[in-house]
Structure 1
Amino acid sequence: MSAGEPGGRYGEAVFRPEQAGEGARIDFGALAYDDITMARLRALGAGPGWSCLDVGAGTGTVSGRLLDEAGVASVLAVDRDVRFLRERPGLEVLRADVTAPDFAAGRRFRLVHARFVLMHLPEREHVIAALAERVEPGGVLVLSDAVDLTSGLEGPATPYTAAMRAMWQGLRETIGTDVSWVPSYPRLLRRAGLVPVAAEVHVPPLEPGSPLSRFWADTWERSRAAMTATGLVDDAAVDAAVRYLDSEECAALSAGMLTAWGWKPAGAGPVSP
């Protein structure tokens, strides 16, 4: 490993699924973002008769809501670790690595959805092309990831902005997380042969005790070593940021979630990853 090269992957160096409370951390994120995700998927037409692929399914909240609320026909929920997922009628669980060449080989879906997955992968452009290949003609690929609204802000740093800057840098250096390219999603979807494409950004509010505030507090706790290794914060600064999130003094923007989608033209042939 060369200097500056990430030394691990999501779920290994940080955010290990076997660590106590990791499922709860994922669920706090789901409480903050699932309503936004489901509104977009339903607006795109997800409903009866649709076959769906949910990549990086986590604890299965989106997969379950696609079945229960949208009434889709089936969902294949995929993750590298599936301990939080349970099969049920209409829901198939697959333990797989989305970067593998034979990932879901030969299968096509009306909806392919991946949220907070590609930002952690160095092979992102290849994976977008591979996911586009999993979309059936007339179907849609929907990608969501974080966009950083804090690190570039001018003015005095707050405990929150200091922690977020350290988190993004620490995760980039530890597992290769990079959100700087996320605004390129529409262009990358178009390059993968999808048309038309569109995108939107949503920023849930940071409020004391909210699921989103608890998600970030838990995320900092689990990435604390990576954050302090940057030299941008120490343990006291991380502790101060956690207290700040839960106080009325908190005046900050969360990282936003950019969602982009693109349609595979009817009659389109295979897309080469």
Structure 2
Amino acid sequence: MSAAPRGDAPGGGRYGETVFRPEQAGEGERIDFGALAYDDITMARLHALGVGPGWRCLDVGAGTGTVSRRLLDEAGVASVLAVDRDVRFLDLRPVPGLDVLEADITAPGAVSGRFGLVHARFVLMHLAERERLITHLAELVAPGGVLVLSDAVDLTSERTPGTPYSAAMRAMWQGLRATIGTDVSGVPAYPHLLRGAGLASVAAEIHVPPLLPGSPISRFWADTWQRSRAAMLATGLVDDTAVDTALRYLDSDECADLSAGMLTAWGWKHATAHEDA
């Protein structure tokens, strides 16, 4: 989870400016709740892909830096460049192998070099021109390296039971789309887009964390609804009473719903005989 880079929205707003402002009290904690819900899954996939000693890594939208630090501490990679448009939540104390760059990944030349691993989680879903950005990130992958993208998938549908949670989630997605451009409808196309960017051995998986009272993912959604409440109300799908009811429901044993999932897709850049990741 991160303060995502700049992207145009139908309503002209941007992540980190119109909604989810980093200066708002508790925003770093909200990001960390997401990290607690998803970091183990992310690290398990990166380990399975063979990311480890000797790898040079790029972590786009690094947020509070949990994945960057775990790559160094657990995977033993050689180096990590942690990039975010706002780095206030990153621990800037010197850490061997960790470099921090405040930059907008959508800007030309924001990041240079080639990396064995290029990783971006919950970033592209907030940005326009996703196909162009995936192509750009693929260009940053060294021969023999891998691009790993994770974003949310909305599991509500017209057949989803009408609960306070599902009503709030529908309003949240619609409100964020209108105000800051967040759009998860195209996330299932990531494997196709990775293949179109010239990567090979493309695959994907989805993880759905359980919604349990007080769990990190439940606390993440509760905080997210509070911060996006104005955008949710503007849709006309919910009012303040409905949001408050959803918050109570989410923290109760009555909650029997599916969280939004995290789709992770990856693809490899072919190496020549004398090059490796």
More displaced 10-residue stretch of structure 1: 21-30 or 154-163 = 154-163
C-alpha displacement of 1:180: 0.5
1:94 aligned to which of 98, 101, 124: 101
Q: Does 1:234 align with 2:244?
A: no
Residue pair 2:125, 2:152 contacting (<8 A) in 1 also:
yes
Which position in structure 1 is the counterpart of 2:150?
144
CA 47–170 in structure 1, closer or farther in 2 if over 3 Å, else same: same
Task: Measure, in 2, the Cα distance between the counterparts of 1:46 and 1:81.
Answer: 26
CA 251–104 in structure 1, closer or farther in 2 if over 3 Å, else same: same
Residue pair 1:82, 1:95 contacting (<8 A) in 2 also:
yes
% same residue: 80
Task: Measure, in 2, the Cα distance between the counterparts of 1:155 and 1:201.
Answer: 19
CA 139–155 in structure 1, closer or farther in 2 if over 3 Å, else same: closer
Which position in structure 1 is the counterpart of 2:5?
none
Q: Does 1:112 align with 2:118?
A: yes
Which position in structure 1 is the counterpart of 2:87?
82
In the TM superposition, what are the counterparts of 1:219-258 in structure 2 within 5 Å?
A: 219-258=224-263
C-alpha displacement of 1:73: 0.5
1:200 aligned to which of 198, 205, 214: 205
**Two-structure CA RMSD over aligned residues (Å):** 1.2
After TM superposition, where is structure 1 displaced by more than 4 Å over at least 4 residues in a row?
A: none
Which position in structure 1 is the counterpart of 2:36?
31
What's the CA shift string for 1:48-88, capped at 9, x where partnerless? 00000000000000000000000001000000000011241
TM-score (norm 2): 0.93
Report the count of equivalent residues: 263
In the TM superposition, what are the counterparts of 1:163-174 in structure 2 within 5 Å?
A: 163-174=168-179
2:136 aligned to which of 127, 130, 133: 130
Q: Does 1:41 align with 2:46?
A: yes
Task: Measure, in 2, the Cα distance between the counterparts of 1:76 and 1:249.
Answer: 43
CA 112–155 in structure 1, closer or farther in 2 if over 3 Å, else same: closer
**1:115 partner amino acid:** R
What's the CA shift string for 1:191-212, capped at 9, x where partnerless? 0000010000010100001011
2:110 aligned to which of 85, 103, 115: 103
**2:124 partner amino acid:** L
Residue pair 1:6, 1:175 contacting (<8 A) in 2 also:
yes
**1:137 partner amino acid:** P
C-alpha displacement of 1:153: 4.2
C-alpha displacement of 1:89: 1.1
SS of the residue 1:262 aligns to = strand
Flag structure 1 segments of 5+ consecutive residues without an equivalent. 269-273
Which position in structure 2 is the counterpart of 1:271?
none
**1:223 partner amino acid:** S
More displaced 10-residue stretch of structure 1: 188-197 or 155-164 = 155-164
Residue pair 1:99, 1:123 contacting (<8 A) in 2 also:
no
